[in-house]
């Protein structure tokens, strides 16, 4: 049993910070690319069902923006997947600017039981700054419609470190999100991804000054925003179960938990990544190439990587340490036949001494005080 991820590579328009593979529907003239996508996806599902007998333990439809599809498109997508999800966590991402009662009814009818809503901020000024297609009122309305349709498992994504964001506007967004009562919250720091309009705007260049641009919070300011939010959400009853993720009891995202625990997952659609049986691959990040390969009866693979035992162990550790539950020494030994204390002896000795890591109840954990800088700390295991 593995998680299934389906990538929908369309958005109404691109946000200024986004490096995910998606095609802005504003640039799509006629239904060609959307039709190509559906034909490709149907062929990929057929090939995968033949090649990889596959039991699905969770479904995550992401993108892109699944709800950017017209109602008929959304229904067509869900009909293709219906073989795979009964009585499992089935999530669809959604953008507040694309939600309608009809689309929500379709999602619910076909078994989607969790919505992950990209809210990002409740400041209209900041939403505009980062190129979102919606305002704060649209988020409130989307949540109202989601609840009205009977969804009782809702995640809100929020971003911090945005241009022009200060502690106060961040706090207001977190507080407003809490007032909407989501079961789950994901908090992401803005990262300037090469090639995105926002990265270009703030990239250093000869003689370039940024004084005319909104202030971009530095690492310390981001850490301060993050820390404040962690304390606020924990006080409000959310468990901080992963670096960026918070959930009410029992509402952790099962799909992502499985991935962080090193379980296999299959990704379908252009740009989707899969890891099955120690092999990782990525599908072509181009609708035309994706469609063409599948029309030729081939899988649309772009990169294939055979993970060595050592790479799998290190990845297991790095992902596991992002979880507040950490990594079970026992489970690690069962999976790899070796004690992780023997494999990473030197790094562990240093970090245990510095109290960045601890071993309690047979689990290796990251000290919660250093969780925001987890990535830098975990690099040492590489």
Q: Where do contacts with ligand SF4 occur on this chain (CB under 6 A)?
A: 11, 14-15, 18, 20, 22, 63-65, 95, 118
From the CB of residue 88, how many other CB atoms can be counted at a distance below 10 Å? Answer: 18
- Tell me if 166 sits within 8 A of 180, measured CB to CB: no
- Whole-angstrom distance, CA of residue 217 vs CA of residue 339: 41
Minimum separation from the CB atom of position 123 to ligand SF4 (A): 17
Burial class (CB in 10 A: 0-12, 13-18, 19+), 53: exposed
- Whole-angstrom distance, CA of residue 289 vs CA of residue 33: 11
Q: In terms of CB distance, is 33 or 63 closer to ligand SF4?
A: 63
Tokens of 381: 């295991």
Q: Phi then psi for 46, rounded to 5 degrees? A: -60, -45
Q: In terms of CB distance, is 202 or 228 closer to ligand SF4?
A: 202
Q: In terms of CB distance, is 64 or 291 closer to ligand SF4?
A: 64
Minimum separation from the CB atom of position 73 to ligand SF4 (A): 16
Q: In terms of CB distance, is 57 or 67 closer to ligand SF4?
A: 67
User: Among candidates 235, 229, 115, 239, which has minimal Cα distance to 177?
Assistant: 229
Minimum separation from the CB atom of position 95 to ligand SF4 (A): 5
Minimum separation from the CB atom of position 287 to ligand SF4 (A): 15
Q: In terms of CB distance, is 131 or 164 closer to ligand SF4?
A: 131
Sign of CA dihedral 257, 261, 264, 268: positive
- Tell me if 323 sits within 8 A of 340, measured CB to CB: no
- Whole-angstrom distance, CA of residue 162 vs CA of residue 128: 11
Burial class (CB in 10 A: 0-12, 13-18, 19+), 298: exposed
Minimum separation from the CB atom of position 195 to ligand SF4 (A): 13
Q: In terms of CB distance, is 20 or 228 closer to ligand SF4?
A: 20
Minimum separation from the CB atom of position 25 to ligand SF4 (A): 10
- Tell me if 125 sits within 8 A of 170, measured CB to CB: no
Minimum separation from the CB atom of position 14 to ligand SF4 (A): 5
Q: In terms of CB distance, is 9 or 326 closer to ligand SF4?
A: 9
């Amino acid at each position: 049993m593995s998680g299934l991820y389906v990538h929908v590579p369309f958005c109404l328009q691109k946000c200024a910070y986004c490096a995910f593979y998606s095609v802005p529907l504003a640039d799509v003239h006629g239904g060609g690319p959307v039709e190509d996508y559906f034909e490709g996806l149907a062929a990929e599902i057929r090939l995968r069902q033949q090649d990889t007998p596959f039991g699905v333990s969770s479904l995550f439809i992401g993108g892109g923006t699944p709800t950017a599809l017209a109602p008929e498109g959304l229904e067509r997508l869900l009909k293709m997947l219906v073989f795979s999800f009964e009585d499992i966590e089935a999530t669809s991402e959604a953008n507040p600017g694309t939600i309608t009662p009809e689309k929500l009814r379709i999602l619910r009818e076909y078994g989607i039981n969790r919505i992950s809503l990209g809210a990002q901020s409740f400041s209209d000024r900041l939403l505009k700054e980062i190129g979102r297609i919606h305002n704060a009122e649209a988020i409130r309305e989307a949540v109202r419609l989601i609840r009205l349709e009977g969804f009782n498992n809702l995640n809100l994504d929020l971003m911090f470190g945005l241009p022009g964001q200060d502690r106060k506007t961040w706090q207001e967004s977190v507080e407003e999100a809490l007032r909407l009562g989501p079961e789950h919250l994901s908090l992401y720091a803005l990262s300037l991804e090469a090639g995105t309009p926002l990265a270009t705007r703030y990239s250093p260049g000869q003689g370039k000054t940024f004084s005319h641009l909104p202030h971009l919070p530095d690492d310390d300011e981001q850490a301060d925003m993050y820390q404040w939010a962690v304390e606020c959400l924990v006080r409000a009853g959310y468990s901080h179960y992963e670096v960026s993720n918070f959930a009410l009891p029992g509402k952790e995202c099962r799909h992502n938990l499985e991935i962080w625990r090193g379980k296999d997952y299959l990704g379908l659609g252009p740009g989707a990544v899969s890891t099955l049986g120690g092999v990782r691959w990525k599908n072509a990040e181009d609708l035309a190439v994706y469609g063409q390969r599948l029309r030729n009866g081939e899988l649309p693979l772009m990169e294939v990587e055979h993970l060595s035992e050592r790479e799998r162990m290190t990845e297991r550790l790095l992902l596991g340490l992002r979880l507040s539950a950490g990594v079970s020494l026992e489970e690690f030994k069962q999976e790899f036949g070796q004690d992780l204390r023997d494999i990473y002896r030197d790094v562990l000795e240093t970090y245990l001494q510095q109290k960045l890591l601890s071993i309690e109840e047979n689990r290796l954990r990251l000290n919660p005080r250093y969780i925001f800088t987890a990535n830098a700390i975990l690099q040492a295991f590489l």
